[in-house]
Homo-oligomer: A and B are copies of this chain.
Amino acid sequence: MRNKTKLPTMADVANLAGVSSMTVSRALKPDTSVSKSTREKIQKAADELGYVLDTRASEFSSGKSGFVAITIPSINNGNFADTVKAFSDGLAEQDLQVLLGYTNYHVDREEQLVEQLLKKRPEAIVVTGGMHTDRCRLLLENSGIPVIETWDVPEQPIDHVVGFSNLQASELMFEHFIAQGHKKIGFIGGDNSRDSRGRDRYLGFCNTMEKHGLSSERVSFQELAPFSMEPGASGIRSIMKEWPDTEAVMCVSDLIAYGAITECQRMGINVPDDVKIGGFGAYELGQFLNPSITTIDVGAAQIGKFAAEKIIELLSDDGNTKSAKIVKTEPTLIKRQSA
């Protein structure tokens, strides 16, 4: 019904205003040479018809799509949300829209998503991490547009990178534990096969332990469910049961850390006096909890901001200015009560 009603086109506006559609096209954009009187005439005609520009036609005709694509693992993750927000804010001035897709941490889903997004001819594409299927890599390489991998520093980047080393980031926490004199240190993580960033955080644990001649056996891997603290609780239970003298544990995320902390409280273990618990990600909530959570701030918003800046640079670029292929952000330790 409704959909059958044909919307007015530029030609309709042109007719009503008594000008050519080319003039309408110009009058509807700022900074074009149209006499004031014609412009007003056209504006009036457009308002009268309730005309709204069809950007599909406009973008198709001009060859630009006016948006950039970004894929993130999960929409329910405050960190990725921060990246996306900073990213879209950074692009807003450039009249670039952001098309967002989430992969649920699956590379296959990512491949499917990337193809879908590419079909819409974005002017650039941002993906999370450096782990892709072969076909996905190929699609990105052949896309003819700037590609930015984020949240990681892949060994073989496709094109550009804005990220940090998850390995080095997690080392910050363990060095912090060690600086406080602890030696019996543990780690609670998730399924590493699907999440290379989580894996790198674990590797950071192993590296630091090894460097200081400490054991890296105090580990618990849990099935991570979105927005659940249960894995943290199970993880700390299992670690404290097997190694009751554990002094400090880092969790792969703040939420897991919070789960571990509340479980400690339940078990009568004081955090941080008996055991120190560290998180990862610097979620907003962590500062309000009791105890507040010591964590690693990976600079999620910064990643989005830098990615946006890079894209603006690359798109305005004539191909001359060589922007740095790899931009690294600096994770920092946020010292709070829990560790």
A interface list, Cβ under 8 A from B = 1-5, 7, 50, 52-57, 59-60, 65, 75-76, 78, 81, 84-85, 97, 99-100, 115-116, 118-121, 123, 138-139, 142-146, 227, 229, 258-259, 262, 265, 284-285, 288, 290, 315, 317-319
When C-beta atoms are compared, the residue in chain B nearest to A84 turns out to be B75
When C-beta atoms are compared, the residue in chain B nearest to A4 turns out to be B319
Interfacial chain B residues near A143, Cβ < 8 Å: 52
A85 near B81 with CB under 8 A, answer no
Interfacial chain B residues near A120, Cβ < 8 Å: 55-56
A144 near B290 with CB under 8 A, answer no
Interfacial chain B residues near A146, Cβ < 8 Å: 2
Contacts A119-B55, A288-B262 hold; do A5 and B144 have CB atoms under 8 A apart? yes
A53 near B2 with CB under 8 A, answer no
B78 near A85 with CB under 8 A, answer no
A234 to chain B, nearest CB (A): 14
Give the distance in Å from the alpha carbon of A3 to the alpha carbon of B317 in the complex.
10
Interfacial chain B residues near A5, Cβ < 8 Å: 144
From the candidates B7, B100, B123, name the one contacting A144 in the complex (CB within 8 A): B7
Interfacial chain B residues near A121, Cβ < 8 Å: 54-56
Interfacial chain B residues near A76, Cβ < 8 Å: 78, 81, 85
From the candidates B50, B60, B290, name the one contacting A142 in the complex (CB within 8 A): B50
Interfacial chain B residues near A139, Cβ < 8 Å: 50, 52
Contacts A75-B84, A229-B288, A262-B290 hold; do A144 and B55 have CB atoms under 8 A apart? no
When C-beta atoms are compared, the residue in chain B nearest to A53 turns out to be B119
Interfacial chain B residues near A116, Cβ < 8 Å: 97
Interfacial chain B residues near A57, Cβ < 8 Å: 60
A277 to chain B, nearest CB (A): 15
Interfacial chain B residues near A318, Cβ < 8 Å: 1
A50 near B85 with CB under 8 A, answer no
When C-beta atoms are compared, the residue in chain B nearest to A317 turns out to be B1
A18 to chain B, nearest CB (A): 23
Interfacial chain B residues near A56, Cβ < 8 Å: 56, 59-60, 65, 120-121
When C-beta atoms are compared, the residue in chain B nearest to A2 turns out to be B144
A105 to chain B, nearest CB (A): 15
From the candidates B52, B59, B75, B319, name the one contacting A85 in the complex (CB within 8 A): B75
B2 near A119 with CB under 8 A, answer no
B85 near A123 with CB under 8 A, answer no
